[in-house]
Structure 1
Amino acid sequence: MNIFPSTPLAGLRVIEMGQLIAGPFAGKTLGDFGAEVIKIEPPGAGDPLRNWRLLRHGTSVWWQVQSRNKRSLALDLRAAEGQDVARRLIAEADVLIENFKPGTLEGWGLAPERLQALNPGLIILRISGYGQTGPYRDRPGFGVVGEAMGGLRHLTAEPGRVPVRVGVSIGDTLAALHGVIGVLLALHHRTAHGGAGQVIDVALHEAVFNCMESLIPEYSAFGAVREPAGSALPGIAPSNAYPCQDGWVLVAGNGDSIFKRLMTAIGRDDLGGAPDLADNAGRVARVAEIDAAIGAWTQPRTVRAVLDALTAARVPAGKVYTARDIAEDPHYQARDMLLAQATRDGDTLTVPGIVPKLSATPGGVRASAPHLGEDSEAVLRELGLSAEQIAALRQRGIVQ
C-alpha cells in the first residue's frame, strides 16, 4: 500500500501494461504523485526502454527516470495463465494503462467490457497511434508518425529544408499527458457520479493536433496553410533567435510596450517610435527589417551581455540551453528540478524533478526504478497466490 498519504493520488492502484514511452510516461506521472504503479513487463528482456540510448551497468539511464515509483511484475500476457493473473490484478485496480496496437487486449481476453464486468469502477487508458476507431486504427504508429500527421513535423524546419524532429519524443509525451488528464477527469467523474469507470481513447496524432493552435482555423477562414518558418513565430513580431558571439538568444519582443523597450535597449528608438510599428500587424509587415536590426545588435555581443541588457529592459529573452547549461543553472537547482536519485545498482543520478508543483500535496520520488521482475513474487503473494503456485508459474516461464 502507499505509505505517503500526503500525496494527492495516495491509495490509487494503477496497472501499467505499456512499453517504451507514451503509456509508461503516463504511469510515471501518476506514480510521481503517489499512485501505486505495477508495471507488467514480458519475461526475458522486459520493456525495450531498459536498453535504449546510453546504458549504465547494462540499463538505460532513461529507464531510471521513466520507471521510478513503479513495481515490476514480469508476466507473460500471451499465456492463458498470465492473462488470468492480469485479470486478478485488474479486478483490484483503479486504472489500467496500455499503449499496444488496437485489438491486442481483446486478443488476450482482456477486452475493456470484460475487465469492467469484473471491476465496474475500472478506468482504462488506451494510447495508440490512430485511436481505437477509424480507418487507420490498425496501422502501426509511433510518436514521430503522430507528430507528422498531427501537423507539427511540417512546421519544424527552415523554409525549403527537410522537416526535422523536435529532438525528443514529443508526440508520445503529449499523448501521455493528455492521457493523464483523461484519467484524472474520469476519476473525478467516478467519485461524483456513482463509481463507474470508463475508457479513455488517446491517439498520438490527436494529442499533437490538439496543440497546433490556430493551424486549422486559419485554413478554414482564409485557406492559409502555415509553412515552416525556422526559429521565427509567423505572424507575430519580433520573436526569433538571434546570433551572438558565443551562441544564440531567443528574444520575444512582440508585445507593443515590450517592443518599444527592446528598440530603446538596442539603440533603435527610430523603430520603437515609428507609428506603423506600434502594433503587431505593422511589425509583421516589416519583420525582416526589425529582425536585421536586432541581429546587428546581438551579433557583436556575448550571450551574457545580451541577456543582461534585455533583462534590465524587461524584455523576455533567453539562452538556448544545452544539458550542461541545465545541470549548472541555479534556477533549476533552486526549484528542485534537478534531483539526486539513487539507483538499485548503487549509483546516484541527477534526474528531472517533479512537475507540476503542488503546495500542499507535492509529488516525489519514493522508489527508484526496479530491476526486471523484482516485485513479481511480492505482487503475486498480495494477490493470494501460494508459494507453490508462484513456483509453478515461474517454472513454466509465465513469471520471472
Structure 2
Amino acid sequence: MYQLLHGMRVVECASFIAAPSCALHLQQMGAEVIRIDPIGGGPDYRRWPVSEGGSSFYWEGLNKGKKSIAIDLSSAQGRELATQIITSPGQDSGLFVTNFPQGGFLAHDVLRKRRADLISARVMGWNDGESAVDYTVNAAVGVPLMTGEPVNGDKPVNHVLPAWDLMTGAYAAFALLAAERHRRDTGEGQEVLLPLSDVALTSLGHMGQIAEVLTQGDRPRMGNALFGAFGRDFMTVDGHRIMVVAITARQWSGLVKVLELKSAVAQLESALQVSFARDEGTRFRHREVLFPLFERAIALRSVDDLKVGFSANGVCWSPYRTLQSALTDEPRFSTTGPLFQTLDHPSGHRYPAPGSAATFQGMQRQPIVRAPHLGEHTDQVLMEVLSLSSSQVGELHDAGVVAGVSE
C-alpha cells in the first residue's frame, strides 16, 4: 500500500465484491477503512473459496488492511452506533461505501441529517434498485450469448470472472474521490449511485458495441478468434496450446517472419487483392483462409522454439496455463515480487497477499496488513471515533450491541 490518502477515513458497510473492493482500493492508497460488520459476519463472511476449516479466502482477500467493528444492526442502539460512526466529524471523514438498499436507516437522506456534507458511494444491482449481481447483469446485457463457439447456438456461455463487480468497485473508488474533491472545493456532500447495470452498459458503449449492434445487429459467436484483428489459439507440435495475437503491423510482420509464411501470405494477398500488413480488420475478415496457414506452421514447432523466435521479433503471444502453473512457471506472476507480501491470515493460513496494483515510481510501498478478525477493532473504533469511555464500551458489550473477536 501507499500513503497518498493518509488521514482519510472511509466507513464501509457492504458485502460481496464491488463495494468491498472499492474500499480496498482506497485502503491500499493509505485511507483508513472501518468495516461495520454484523455480529457473526455478513452474507459473504463464509463465501468460497474457503479453507478446509471453512474460513473464506475471498473475505480475507477483499478486506486486507481494514478495521472491523461488529455491531448488532438489528437493534435500534446498534443502528444508532453505525450512524454515528458513518457521520462522525472531521474534514477527511464523512465518506461512506455501501451496497445496502437506498432506503432504510442507511439511506443517504437519513444520514445527511447528521452530516450535511456526507458522501455516500452506493453500489447497486439495477439502476431502479432491483436486486442484481454480476452474473445476472452479464446475462441481461448479452455477453454470454457472444461467448463460445457457433455450435453453442442459443446456449449461453458464462465466464468465471466477475468483470462488472471488479469494474464497479474500481469506478466507485474513482467516483468517491471525485466527489471528495468536489466537497473540498464547495463544501457539498452527495450520494453517488453505482449500479452494476450502468457500468456494464456504459462499458459496452465505450467499446463501440452498442453502436455495432444498433447498426449491424448482434455479434455472432466466433470461439477463440479475436474480434476485429488476427488472433486465436493454436497447438504446438509438443502439445502446448498458445494464444497468438497480431493487432499491430509489427506484431503481424514478426509473426509471419518467425513462421516463415512471407511467401504464402503474399500469395493470399495477391489473390484477394488486399494487404494484411496495413489493416488489422482485413486480417480478421479473411481469418478463415489465414488460420489454416498458421495452424500448420505452428503445429510443426515446439513451444520453446516459438518462444525464442517470438521474443526476438516482437510477437504478442502466451501459452495457456492453469493459475497454479502461472504462479510457478511465469516469473512475471511471481508472488515473491513487490506486489505481494506473505502474511499470517485470520484463517490460520500463511500465504502471499497482494497490495496495490499501481506502482508509484519513487514512492516506498508500505507493509500490507492482513484482513481483520471479525470485530477485532470494535473497542478501538468506539473509543477513537466516538470518544466512548472503556466503561461505556463495556456496557455495549454486556448488552450484546457490539462484539469483539470470538464473542
TM over 0.5: yes
* Whole-Å separation in 1 of the counterparts to 2:131 and 2:284: 41
Equivalent position of 1:250 in the other structure? 243
Q: Kindly tell me: are residues 369 and 56 of structure 1, through their superposed partners in 2, closer, same or farther at Cα, counting changes over 3 Å? A: farther
Equivalent position of 2:192 in the other structure? 200
* Whole-Å separation in 1 of the counterparts to 2:169 and 2:54: 27
Q: Kindly tell me: are residues 207 and 254 of structure 1, through their superposed partners in 2, closer, same or farther at Cα, counting changes over 3 Å? A: same
Q: Kindly tell me: are residues 303 and 47 of structure 1, through their superposed partners in 2, closer, same or farther at Cα, counting changes over 3 Å? A: farther
Equivalent position of 1:36 in the other structure? 32
Aligned runs of 1:148-187 on 2, under 5 Å? 148-161=139-152, 162-187=155-180
* Whole-Å separation in 2 of the counterparts to 1:256 and 1:174: 30
Identity of aligned residues (%): 25
Equivalent position of 1:141 in the other structure? 132
Deviations 1:3-26 (A, max 9, x none): x9x611111101110012111111
1:277 aligns with 2:269: no
Equivalent position of 1:265 in the other structure? 258
Equivalent position of 2:22 in the other structure? 26
1:310 aligns with 2:310: yes
Q: RMSD between aligned alpha carbons?
A: 2.3
* Whole-Å separation in 1 of the counterparts to 2:363 and 2:109: 34
* Whole-Å separation in 2 of the counterparts to 1:345 and 1:60: 7
Report the Cα offset of residue 116 of structure 1: 2.3
Deviations 1:85-117 (A, max 9, x none): 1121112233111112x33xx322x32123223
Whether the aligned pair in 2 keeps the contact of 1:171 and 1:208 (CA below 8 Å) is yes
Q: Kindly tell me: are residues 332 and 190 of structure 1, through their superposed partners in 2, closer, same or farther at Cα, counting changes over 3 Å? A: same
Equivalent position of 1:350 in the other structure? 352
Equivalent position of 1:330 in the other structure? 331
Residue-pair matches, total:
384
Report the Cα offset of residue 74 of structure 1: 0.7
* Whole-Å separation in 1 of the counterparts to 2:251 and 2:372: 49
Q: Which residue identity does 2:30 align to in structure 1? A: G
Whether the aligned pair in 2 keeps the contact of 1:342 and 1:368 (CA below 8 Å) is yes
* Whole-Å separation in 1 of the counterparts to 2:285 and 2:44: 50
16-25 or 142-151: bigger deviation: 142-151
Equivalent position of 2:231 in the other structure? 239
* Whole-Å separation in 1 of the counterparts to 2:284 and 2:124: 39
Task: Give the secondary-structure state (helix, strand or coil) at the position aligned to 2:341.
Answer: strand
Whether the aligned pair in 2 keeps the contact of 1:8 and 1:361 (CA below 8 Å) is no
Equivalent of 2:378, from 356, 359, 376? 376
Q: Which residue identity does 1:277 align to in structure 2? A: S
* Whole-Å separation in 2 of the counterparts to 1:373 and 1:144: 31
Equivalent position of 2:392 in the other structure? 389
Task: Give the secondary-structure state (helix, strand or coil) at the position aligned to 2:402.
Answer: coil
Report the Cα offset of residue 57 of structure 1: 4.7
Q: Kindly tell me: are residues 257 and 164 of structure 1, through their superposed partners in 2, closer, same or farther at Cα, counting changes over 3 Å? A: same
Q: Kindly tell me: are residues 304 and 149 of structure 1, through their superposed partners in 2, closer, same or farther at Cα, counting changes over 3 Å? A: farther
Report the Cα offset of residue 345 of structure 1: 5.6
1:217 aligns with 2:200: no
* Whole-Å separation in 2 of the counterparts to 1:368 and 1:292: 50
Equivalent position of 2:110 in the other structure? 114
Q: Which residue identity does 1:295 align to in structure 2? A: E
* Whole-Å separation in 1 of the counterparts to 2:319 and 2:340: 19
Task: Give the secondary-structure state (helix, strand or coil) at the position aligned to 2:120.
Answer: strand
Q: Which residue identity does 1:60 align to in structure 2? A: S
Report the Cα offset of residue 341 of structure 1: 2.3
* Whole-Å separation in 2 of the counterparts to 1:75 and 1:344: 19
1:297 aligns with 2:300: no
Whether the aligned pair in 2 keeps the contact of 1:249 and 1:317 (CA below 8 Å) is yes
Equivalent of 1:68, from 54, 61, 64? 64
Whether the aligned pair in 2 keeps the contact of 1:252 and 1:316 (CA below 8 Å) is yes
* Whole-Å separation in 2 of the counterparts to 1:170 and 1:281: 26
Q: Which residue identity does 1:282 align to in structure 2? A: T
Q: Kindly tell me: are residues 114 and 363 of structure 1, through their superposed partners in 2, closer, same or farther at Cα, counting changes over 3 Å? A: farther
Whether the aligned pair in 1 keeps the contact of 2:44 and 2:59 (CA below 8 Å) is no
Whether the aligned pair in 2 keeps the contact of 1:147 and 1:153 (CA below 8 Å) is yes
Task: Give the secondary-structure state (helix, strand or coil) at the position aligned to 2:151.
Answer: coil
Q: Which residue identity does 2:176 align to in structure 1? A: V
Which runs of 5 or more residues in structure 2 are unaligned? none
Q: Kindly tell me: are residues 154 and 395 of structure 1, through their superposed partners in 2, closer, same or farther at Cα, counting changes over 3 Å? A: farther
* Whole-Å separation in 1 of the counterparts to 2:211 and 2:149: 23
Equivalent position of 2:181 in the other structure? 188
* Whole-Å separation in 2 of the counterparts to 1:353 and 1:56: 25
* Whole-Å separation in 2 of the counterparts to 1:181 and 1:146: 22
Report the Cα offset of residue 195 of structure 1: 2.5
